[in-house]
Chain A
């Protein structure tokens, strides 16, 4: 099972598709492409939702089919639930792009376990880099983000929650 195609063209096409709610991240950097089965021009691609109710999944599925069809591939897109998506699958490159876009990337899992144990998370402001930040709301502009405020530069920002 591989989430990277042997044919580099396929990977390049998939890297050009983004989550419509976080346009800065490609679906490859998001880690939602779980498996690519290649059979010549016929492909079976498994994707997994970030959240159960993620409204972007249908769009992403259609975008994958369309982009690959334009390059002559016939793709079947399957939705899989296990293993459940985790923010650990966001690539290093994806994390950098999130921060540059103004969304604080998810902390490493050990640091975020603190949140599950109701301890304070240390989240760095993507605008000024300060760690003097506070949680405003556990849910931000989408279910996958929390709303934070920087106490130094006073800017609000989204934090991509660990899942």
Chain B
């Protein structure tokens, strides 16, 4: 049982970690000082949440793992994050689009997890939900500002949404572990969130004068450990210190 909760925590913590890592790449490289600071602050929130999940996971681990082992010493196929969060920072519209599509899901997920039967998961969710409310507010505002901005910003925002939208299908997909956690009242009911998720996404896209992509084809695989080519590059950078200097700490 504890092993299954451990596995479940990876589905949540790997998303916050990989998205946090993507945002951390923008530290000092944001398009303006304010957005640079905002995106790296969001990154910091996500890393803090990741630590909470992985510290909890470490207490459930059979092999005496530490939070660092969980974060840094797994192979690519052992990471459970969705493909959406590993997509690269092509330009600011992609950064905002990825953030918005994830924030919407993250917000709904945490809304469910605050009622988890597992008091530790519920506590982390309560803490995180307050932070993610601000993340969602930030990304929604930028979607609207870019979508309803100039012709160029509109076009770039639309391109980014068109590119990223097929990666959203994986968010409400339920793996056997997630199904079991839902039935035990520990995990969230992902399929039940789907309608609400798309309603919220579409509402903001409409307000931003953006077209809702018409697609029936969605890309998935991350939750099963089948990642895109970007994941290897992310891990190369993310894991470098622990691979080069095993067990090092600050």
Contact = CB atoms under 8 A, between A and B. Distances in A.
A51 B131 CA distance: 7
B37 A52 contact: no
A59 interface: no
Interface in A138-152: 138-143, 147
Main secondary structure of the interface of B (DSSP, over half): helix
Given A81-B127, A116-B133, A138-B137, A51 B34 contact: no
B170 interface: no
A137 B38 contact: yes
A147 B35 CA distance: 11
A52 B131 contact: yes
Interface residues of B, number: 28
B239 to A, nearest CB: 20
B48 A52 contact: yes
Interface in B198-224: none
10 contacts: A49-B48, A51-B44, A53-B44, A84-B127, A84-B130, A138-B137, A139-B34, A143-B42, A143-B44, A143-B131
Nearest to A83: B126
Interface of B: 34-35, 37-38, 41-42, 44-49, 51-52, 119, 122-124, 126-128, 130-131, 133-134, 137-138, 141
Contacts of B47: 53
Given A116-B133, A161-B134, A163-B130, A138 B48 contact: no
Contacts of A161: 134
Given A137-B34, A161-B134, 16 more contacts: A51-B131, A52-B45, A52-B128, A52-B131, A55-B44, A82-B122, A82-B126, A84-B126, A139-B34, A139-B41, A140-B37, A141-B37, A143-B41, A143-B44, A143-B131, A147-B34
Counting contact residues on chain A (CB < 8 A from B), the size range is: 20 to 34
A121 to B, nearest CB: 12
Interface of A: 49, 51-55, 81-86, 115-116, 118, 136-143, 147, 161, 163
A161 B130 CA distance: 11
A155 to B, nearest CB: 16
Contacts of A143: 41-42, 44-45, 131
B37 A53 contact: no
A140 B119 CA distance: 32
Contacts of A118: 137
Contacts of B48: 49, 51-54
Contacts of B42: 139, 143
A139 B45 CA distance: 11
Interface centre among B49, B127, B128 (most CB of A within 10 A): B127
A82 B123 contact: yes
Given A53-B47, A84-B127, A138 B52 contact: no
A116 B38 CA distance: 18
